[in-house]
Amino acid sequence: MLHFTLRQLQVFEKVASHLNYSRAARELYLSQPAVSMQIRQIEGHIGLPLFEQMGKKIFLTEAGAELFHYARSIAQQLAEMEAVFDQMKGLGHGKLTLSVVNTANYFTPQLLATFCQRHPNINVILQVANRDAVLKQLSDNSTDLAIMGQPPEGLDLSAESFLDNPLVVIASPDHPLAKLRQIKFSQLTAETFLSREKGSGTRSAMERVFAQHGVQPRISMEMETNEAIKQAVRADMGLGILSLHSIELELETNRLVVLDVEKFPLLRHWFVVHRSNKRLSSAALAFKDFLLDTEPAVNEQP
């Protein structure tokens, strides 16, 4: 009969999620030796190794992968139990874990500020990551809600749109195209672009619109942040395609301009997303309703 504790199972789940003892220790506010000791105790109870080390990396063994499956299921049930108790208490207290893609972080703090004013006793944990990482957090059940572009088909996710997300072509004010109006899409084929990394929602939308015109965009550089793209475009290293929400300050200060290109802006939407089978806490339900039922000020485009 197995005798390890829920705390030991929680420690194992964190190490297995990150495949990194140090990162798990930081999240759990434990020392790395304490985490290692808990893992050794679980292995002693089971009688099988849970991790194997190759070089500087660790990997799950077959037994570790099986335990990880059950550990995540137990963690989800505990979170649902906590959500039930939160609902019994009402919205006087509660916790909301929210994951957002990088671009959504330009307007999410504004929304959270209004929400927290209405519900001051709700503790909000905000996680900002790229699209792939946010999808993994949803898959691992390590977040309550996510704000992102429309998730890919085939995943067991519930997604509802709550805000427009126009993508625009940006340039330095000194760029030759900045002085033109009604720019034909064909004129972009001679330009170089600074783009987000493959897998990002902005990059996928950019590739789709170029494919619809039967051309391949000339991407001179890939960057992992919108800020890096904006700085490079300001330096006249090329054009960029970004969400209008991410360049409001640069437009107000005339550091960047939006080009008047046919087929633009590309109108996309922001979605609030969660696992379809997840029992949302009172705090998560309140924030979801807040997004869907209000007219956020960020809908007023610059």
CB atoms within 10 A of CB 285: 20
Quick one: which of 134, 100, 104 has its CA closest to 226?
Answer: 104
Average of pLDDT values for 16-39? Answer: 90
**CATH assignment of 6-72?**
1.10.10.10
The topology under which CATH files domain 91-163+269-299 is D-Maltodextrin-Binding Protein; domain 2 (3.40.190)
Distance from C-alpha of 160 to C-alpha of 228, rounded to nearest angstrom = 30
Q: Which residues does residue 147 pair with via DSSP β-bridges, in sequence order?
A: 100, 272
Q: Is the pLDDT of residue 301 over 60?
A: no
Q: Is the pLDDT of residue 141 over 60?
A: yes
Distance from C-alpha of 189 to C-alpha of 267, rounded to nearest angstrom = 21
The topology under which CATH files domain 164-268 is D-Maltodextrin-Binding Protein; domain 2 (3.40.190)
Please determine whether the domains at 91-163+269-299 and 164-268 fall in the same fold group of CATH. Answer: yes
Average of pLDDT values for 178-202? Answer: 88
> Strand runs (DSSP E) across 116-155, as ranges?
122-129, 145-148
Average of pLDDT values for 220-234? Answer: 92
pLDDT at 89: 63
Distance from C-alpha of 279 to C-alpha of 77, rounded to nearest angstrom = 9
Q: Is the pLDDT of residue 302 over 50?
A: no
- Domain-wise residue ranges, the chain: 6-72, 91-163+269-299, 164-268
Cβ distance 154 to 297 under 8 Å? no
Bridge-based pairing of strands 266-275 and 157-171 is: antiparallel
Report residue 295's pLDDT band, with 50, 70 and 90 as the boundaries. low
Mean pLDDT over all residues of the chain? 88
Give the tens place of pLDDT for each residue, 49-81. 999 988 889 999 999 999 998 998 888 788 778
Report residue 87's pLDDT band, with 50, 70 and 90 as the boundaries. low
pLDDT at 40: 92
Average of pLDDT values for 228-257? Answer: 94
pLDDT at 294: 66
For the chain, what percent of residues have pLDDT higher than 90? 53
